[in-house]
Amino acid sequence: MKKTLLILNIIIFASLRLCAQQHLPSNPTFKRVFTYGKAIGTSIQDMEISGDTAISFSHAMEEVYLIDLNKKKKIGKLHIETDPKVHCNTVSFGSRYTPTDKWPLLYVAQYSNRHTSNVYRIIGKKLQLVQTITWAGYKNSLTVFDNADKSNIYVIAWNGSEDRNPRIFKIATPSIKESELTIDLSTKTDYFTFNYINKFEVVQGVTVKDGIMYQVRGYKNNGQLAVFDLKAKKQVRLFSLPPLGISAEPEGVAFQGDKLWICDQESNMFVMQ
């Protein structure tokens, strides 16, 4: 009986992992659905999606757009109460600051400070800085949550442009009570390493759905989509984006339900077919 239950559990687990990876077809392509338009002199960075609304960040957080994915247009902006003068690299939703908040907290990985994340609460049309997390032990870091689990945060960390072996850490989500916090990644043991072959393979945007991490990577016309199974702690797929329909530099990646969206630096929005 115990053996039968064990076999059933293994089958169920394998099925769940397969379902998670089925968010990505065996031969995906991307279709440009619309372009929402960016301000002159800005470049689009990462985005996050809640329901049918995307929140798209530009560099230095000069523009933070609200985009209706169904209406295919901008519907507003968010404003920062204090100007942190940081280059937004990746953004991800955490848990809600209070249960009654409309939006979850936004974790924005800085490029300017390279190993720091700003945590923002959305109040009306304003982004209120509530916490700054310094990820010590590495020169660079990006942060992302799984869509289904906010109890842990994934931190991608590396040491400068010549480091071809970034690590992906799984860290218990820090309490939001402290306004400034430092966490030393060099003391953490729950991680795995992946490898860049080419220098242009730097991560631009990242999202996680059901234990599967999706990274858009690369400069200019060298875009890639890399897929990781976080449970197995390994990369499982790697695609060159230009043959799939995305020729410009990819920046943002996020899910709307089971739809995978990618936004390039020029504000073109693509959906996976």
Domain boundaries, the chain: 27-272
Give the pLDDT mean for 20-49. 87
Q: What percent of the chain has pLDDT over 90?
A: 76
* SS3 at position 147: coil
Each residue's pLDDT tens digit, 158-176: 998 889 999 999 999 999 9
Each residue's pLDDT tens digit, 83-138: 666 778 899 999 999 999 999 999 999 875 689 999 999 999 999 999 999 999 99
CATH superfamily of 27-272: TolB, C-terminal domain (2.120.10.30)
The reported pTM is 0.90
Give the pLDDT mean for 242-262. 97
